[in-house]
Amino acid sequence: MLKNKSRKLVALLTAVGCGTITTPAAIANTPQPISGSVNTMLLAQASILNTIPGEISTNSSAFSTLLTAVTTAGLGGALSGSGPFTVFAPTNEAFAKLPSGTVQSLLQPQNRAQLTRILTYHVVPGRISTIGLAPGQTITVRTLQGSNLTVRVIAPSQVTVNNIPVEIADIPASNGVIHAIGGVLLP
């Protein structure tokens, strides 16, 4: 198991250096790069997987805004549960695309319910991996918020959720999987 995690780490390190991110399927000799430009290195720990909040915290240089939002909404404990959960995690760059002042407003105590609704719209019960999804395939998944998301596989290297690109797919966590996305999903 440690050897497999080490291979994932090497694949992710190699991919970050060349501008594309390779999903774990590529490690099994099936290349499936996920294109996108995340300027920061996102890596799951090679030796022990953390829960979803732990992995987000480990990769805080890319997910610091999400980490602050999860903490403010009080969702860290729920996302540390046994799950499994799939989190479509907006990067800091994704949050920066929102209109000026939006994030600061959502982090205010009086807006906690709205923040919680938005964050739970990014979480799906179960483990949804890009491995095994075929080009042209579309799946609809129900979020913890109660609404549906549409996941489309356009090509082996191009996956979207509600038309927002998945920049890094299949970041493993002990209680699920994280997919870094290039925008914030709004219910």
Model confidence pLDDT, tens digit, residues 109-163: 999 999 999 999 999 999 999 887 889 999 999 999 999 999 999 987 899 999 9
Rg (alpha carbons) of the chain, rounded to whole number: 16
Domains and CATH numbers, the chain: 2-181 (2.30.180.10)
For 67-103, the pLDDT digits (tens) are 999 999 999 888 888 889 999 999 999 999 999 999 9
The per-residue b/e assignment along 97-111, b for 16 or more CB within 10 angstroms, e otherwise, is ebeeeebeebbeeeb
Q: How far is 126 from 175, CA to CA, in rounded Å?
A: 9
Assigned token pair, 121: 């719209």
Closest of 53, 34, 4 to residue 169, by C-alpha: 34
- What confidence score (pLDDT) does residue 98 get? 95
Q: How far is 147 from 56, CA to CA, in rounded Å?
A: 23
Whole-model pTM: value is 0.74
Assigned token pair, 186: 């709004």
